[in-house]
Amino acid sequence: MLTALIVSLLAGLATSVGGLLVVQRRELGREFLAVALAFAAGAMLLISFMQVLPLGIDWMAESHTLATAEALVFAAFFAGIALVLVIDRLLPASLNPSEIEGREGAMDFHDATRNKRLLRSGLLVALVLGLHNFPEGMATFFTSYHDPAVGVALAIAVAIHNVPEGIAVAAPVYAATGSRSRAFWWATVSGLTEPLGALLAAALVSWLVPESVLGMFYGMVAGMMVFLALDEMLQASWRYQTAKHQTIYGMLAGMATVATSLVLFAAA
């Protein structure tokens, strides 16, 4: 369990790297970001469909018929999608990383004014940014808890995604406040909510949830990851790409890398 928590923490801290790039006024190449985000999306999609969903069905099948187990896990899968969709709707577009990745410098006067007003009441920003990354922490924990090899692969994908997300969080804060320290720390705080999500997942595993119900959580985690990969990572990759097929090639490379790693770990 400690390993799963550490993996979630390290993945979350990758947002600090993005925040640091903003305050140091350094930029990653758009081609690199496009391929990296698509790589992370491909990895998360393959893990979700080939590892996490089947794992959830296996857990539920221990106490239900196979048909019932599949129905319950798929229902949880779509519930996970709905949860992340609701969270995403709570974020103002000018502060939502999934909306601004790839065009961080495009904030207009209206957005800047609104962000200044929001940032003065920092609790709102802390809440919505925290909710945005909370599901990723739960997903990383649940996956690492059952299979550390798969969990590390997922954590790497999340960390790759979190670097440009840190940029996307820090850029509007820096533009709105002119404060490098606030921009860096908001980026860091947005990532630190991932280990908080992992702690909640650990509490559910340890104290509240019978093992037979864990399959439902794995189904929900798979739904969260699929939505994040399709709605956020791939969308951001398309906005960053400078040539046709960069997103597709990156996604296929992510899938192939994870598939290879799973085969190698299974053979070991």
Instruction: Map residue 182 onto helix, strand or coil.
Output: helix
- Number of other residues whose CB lies within 10 A of the CB of residue 124: 15
Alpha-helix residue ranges (DSSP H) falling in 97-147? 97-100, 109-120, 122-146
> What are the C-alpha distances in Å from 193 to residues 136, 150, 187?
9, 21, 11
User: What pLDDT is attached to residue 77?
Assistant: 95
- Which portions of the chain are predicted below pLDDT 70? 25-28, 90-132, 161, 164, 168-169, 171-172, 175-176, 208-212, 265-268
Mean pLDDT, the chain, rounded, equals: 76
Distance (Å, whole) CA 141 – CA 4 = 5
User: What pLDDT is attached to residue 139?
Assistant: 76
Predicted confidence (pLDDT) per residue in 41-53, tens digit: 888 898 889 888 9
Q: Which amino acid is at 80?
A: G
Distance (Å, whole) CA 120 – CA 118 = 5
